[in-house]
Amino acid sequence: MKTIFYSIALSALVAAGSSCKKVDNYAAPDVTLKGVVTDAGTGKSVQTEQGSGTRIKLLEISWSSNPTPFYISSFQDGTYNNTKLFAGKNVISAEGPFVPLVQVDNTGKTIVDKSQTVDVKGVTTVNFSVDPFLRIDWVGDPVVNADGTITTSFKITRGTSDPNFQQDVSDLAVFVNSNKYVGNNNYDNRYTPKLSGSDASTSVGKTLSVTTIGGPLPGKREYFIRVGARISYGLNYYNYTDVKTVTVP
């Protein structure tokens, strides 16, 4: 009896051990997808804020016709880069402070679809050319005044001629921060001047000069300045200038 028991136990062990040949060795994701969202009018990248600004939407259609979207947040300069993707066929579009690339009318019909269907493999670059809601241009560099404040001059123009995306400018701000990540999600509200109401809605097309609030800025350091403005559309994304560094002596 004992021998039978031992031989059964042994053969069970051998069977269990030898059956585990296959390990889960699917390769780790190593595909890179990168690119930039540029302004169709000027060719420059569309500035945004990191995390709550532009993002790239991937619909992987290799497996399913109704996939769950996957999103890649862009950097604040409008570029994006993800180096840990699986290869696959994707429908790619972008969402952010610009005329939507995919638009549906109120009956649910898709009337505009500028998304791109791309085989993502190796290192793939996908760029988008868009019409931003607003263009904000610097007029000269920000100036440190004698009283320790900073005055910034800029001009806001429409980035699109489509009247559906020409709502009034609802907010406008010269964001001030102590590091280069600056925008509506990251700013120092002691010094940041903000305009809204009619001050904002009448701002399009004019050169504006706005001075920081809260008295003199503490000296001997750098400030990072960026102008942002938004219209009342959808998630109220801000359009931005690039970031300028101002040294207060």
The shares of helix, strand and coil residues in the chain, as percent rounded to the nearest 5, are 10, 45, 45
Q: Which is closer to other proteins, CB of 7 or CB of 189?
A: 189
Say how far apart CA 36 and CA 75 lie, in whole Å. 9
Q: How many Cβ atoms are within 10 Å of 57's Cβ, its own excluded?
A: 17
Q: Quote the least distance from Cβ 227 to other proteins, whole Å.
A: 16
CA-nearest of 123, 50, 113 to 84 is 123
Where on the chain is the footprint of other proteins (CB under 8 A)? Answer: 52, 66, 68-69, 95, 104-110, 184-185, 187, 189-190, 192, 196, 214-215, 232-236
Say how far apart CA 241 and CA 101 lie, in whole Å. 22
Q: Quote the least distance from Cβ 87 to other proteins, whole Å.
A: 23
106-115 burial string, b = 16+ CB within 10 Å, else e?
Answer: eeeeeeeeeb
Q: Quote the least distance from Cβ 92 to other proteins, whole Å.
A: 17
Q: Quote the least distance from Cβ 68 to other proteins, whole Å.
A: 6
